């Protein structure tokens, strides 16, 4: 009862102090006399606020207060006091209490302990209205520290008791709440234990009656597990046997592929030996006929036979070379095109200029793709030699974004693509490229030369194994 009376008197006393503080704040009596430098700073702040809206003044003053709070206590105090009416008008009591407390702390740090007292009290009053007793106790403890600094032990003792009373009150409430919570937990745990004991008794009764059934069930479970393990073991043996068979199959397939390669090499060698021998005989005989005097009427036919035999001989060599699976690479394809083009126009007035990549990554090509590309390039060069009357031919091979580009350009007569004067050669070449997934485009106009482009993805012509 005595504690309640003391608390009541304390609250009345603090209320009177707050009223007096508000009165002095309104009349300007609570503001200490400013030095000339401080007055000059205050005047500059007032000039900055002239003509501004209240919200703008609020932001300016708070910004200046935060700027000077840790740099110049006197300037921060001036700006903070100037900002109090605008913060109070904004209705943010939490920010208002914080501003009062910060001004009080700055007054205390600057040696104006007496001036800090009303600001501490007003901050405590607002925090109390917000229902924050622990913060009020902290404000009182801060005020005690400031009072001890100025050796005003009476005020320090009074507010130390107020802070302790608040903390004791909170502790009593906390202890009571904890006691009630602990009691509720104890009763709940006791009830749960009683229920668990009763449940365990019932379970023991059920277990005693069903123990034999569980024993039989466990025997059946063990039997089922044994059968399952046996089945898994049999499956494992089957998998191992299957892997062994698959491995033997791979070995057999690899051996068959090597045998096929050897047979293909032997066939190509036999073809080369037989055809080379026979075609060489034909070539020698025709040369003998050409060299004999007195047979000018047969010379033209003999030259035709020599041309055909030479063409067959060259084609046979190409075929034998392509039958070797190790020759079907991207690098060999480019090399073959380069060598063939230079040899083809060697005895011709046509000049050939080639542009080829310096380095090509290793890639094996399908034999049919290799063959079709070579045949298309040969057909293009043959058309240039026979029909274009060109003087210059440019061959460019590039690899961009995993695509092979072959461009053959000549400065010959050209032709009109709309006229069917070229036979079926173009259609055959386009069909060859279409078969292997490539594109072929021909650009030509009369008297403007011809440009042939071949475009095909490397992934489409790459060998799969």
Task: Give the domain CATH number at 365.
Answer: 3.30.565.10
Comparison of pLDDT for 390 and 34, the residue scoring more? 390
**Among 41-50, 233-242, 327-336, 430-439, which stretch is predicted with the lowest mean pLDDT?**
41-50
Domain boundary, last residue among 136, 161, 178: 178
- Domain total in the chain: 2
Does residue 426 fall inside a structural domain? yes
pLDDT, residue 128, reads: 92
User: Which residues constitute the domain of residue 62?
Assistant: 2-178
pLDDT, residue 149, reads: 84
Does residue 242 fall inside a structural domain? no
Domain boundary, last residue among 158, 178, 198: 178
Mean pLDDT of the chain: 79
User: Confidence band (pLDDT; 50, 70, 90) for 21?
Assistant: very low
Domain boundary, last residue among 161, 178, 195: 178
Separation of alpha carbons 221 and 213, rounded Å: 12
- Percentage of the chain surpassing pLDDT 70? 75
pLDDT, residue 299, reads: 58
Task: Give the domain CATH number at 82.
Answer: 1.25.40.10
pLDDT reading at 300 higher than 80: no
pLDDT reading at 18 higher than 50: no
Give pLDDT tens digits for 213-265. 777 888 888 888 889 888 888 888 888 888 888 888 878 777 766 655 665 56
Does residue 67 fall inside a structural domain? yes
Does residue 309 fall inside a structural domain? no
pTM, entire model: 0.40
Does residue 370 fall inside a structural domain? yes
Does residue 263 fall inside a structural domain? no
pLDDT reading at 68 higher than 50: yes
Does residue 272 fall inside a structural domain? no
């Amino acid at each position: 009862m005595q504690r309640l009376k003391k608390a009541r008197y304390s609250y009345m006393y603090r209320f009177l102090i707050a009223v007096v503080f508000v009165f002095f704040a309104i009349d300007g009596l609570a503001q200490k006399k400013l030095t000339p430098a401080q007055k000059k700073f205050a005047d500059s702040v007032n000039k900055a606020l002239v003509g501004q809206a209240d919200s703008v003044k609020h932001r300016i003053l708070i910004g200046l207060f935060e700027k000077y709070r840790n740099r110049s206590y006197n300037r921060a105090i001036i700006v903070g006091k100037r900002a109090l009416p605008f913060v109070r008008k904004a209705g943010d009591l939490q920010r208002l209490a914080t501003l009062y407390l910060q001004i009080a702390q700055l007054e205390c740090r600057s040696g104006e302990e007496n001036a800090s007292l009303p600001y501490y009290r007003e901050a405590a009053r607002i925090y109390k209205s917000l229902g924050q007793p622990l913060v009020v106790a902290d404000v009182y403890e801060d005020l005690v520290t400031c009072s001890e600094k100025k050796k005003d032990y009476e005020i320090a003792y009074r507010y130390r008791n107020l802070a302790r009373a608040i903390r004791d009150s909170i502790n009593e409430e906390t202890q009571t709440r904890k006691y009630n919570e602990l009691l509720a937990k104890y009763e709940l745990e006791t009830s749960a234990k009683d229920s668990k004991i009763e449940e365990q008794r019932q379970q023991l009764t059920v277990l005693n009656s069903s123990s034999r059934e569980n024993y039989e069930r466990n025997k059946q479970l063990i039997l089922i597990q044994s059968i399952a393990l046996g089945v898994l073991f049999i499956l494992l043996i089957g998998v191992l046997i299957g892997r062994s068979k698959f491995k033997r199959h791979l070995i057999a397939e690899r051996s068959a592929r090597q045998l096929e390669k050897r047979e293909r090499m032997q066939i190509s060698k036999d073809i080369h030996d037989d055809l080379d021998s026979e075609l060489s005989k034909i070539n020698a005989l025709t040369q003998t006929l050409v060299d004999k005097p007195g047979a000018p009427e047969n010379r033209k036919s003999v030259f035709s036979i020599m041309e055909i035999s030479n063409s067959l001989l060259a084609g046979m060599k190409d075929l034998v070379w392509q039958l070797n699976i190790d020759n079907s690479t991207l690098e060999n394809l480019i090399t073959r095109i380069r060598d063939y083009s230079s040899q083809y126009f060697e005895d011709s007035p046509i000049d050939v200029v080639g542009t080829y990549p310096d380095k090509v990554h290793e890639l094996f090509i399908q034999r049919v793709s290799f063959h079709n590309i070579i045949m298309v390039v040969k057909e293009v060069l043959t058309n240039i030699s026979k029909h274009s009357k060109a003087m210059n031919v440019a061959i460019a091979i590039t690899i961009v974004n995993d695509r092979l580009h072959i461009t053959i350009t000549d400065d010959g007569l050209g032709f009109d693509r709309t006229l069917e004067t070229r036979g079926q050669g173009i259609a055959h070449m386009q069909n060859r490229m279409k078969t292997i997934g490539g594109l072929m485009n021909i650009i030509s106009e009369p008297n403007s030369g011809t440009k042939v482009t071949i475009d095909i993805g490397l992934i489409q012509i790459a060998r799969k194994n």
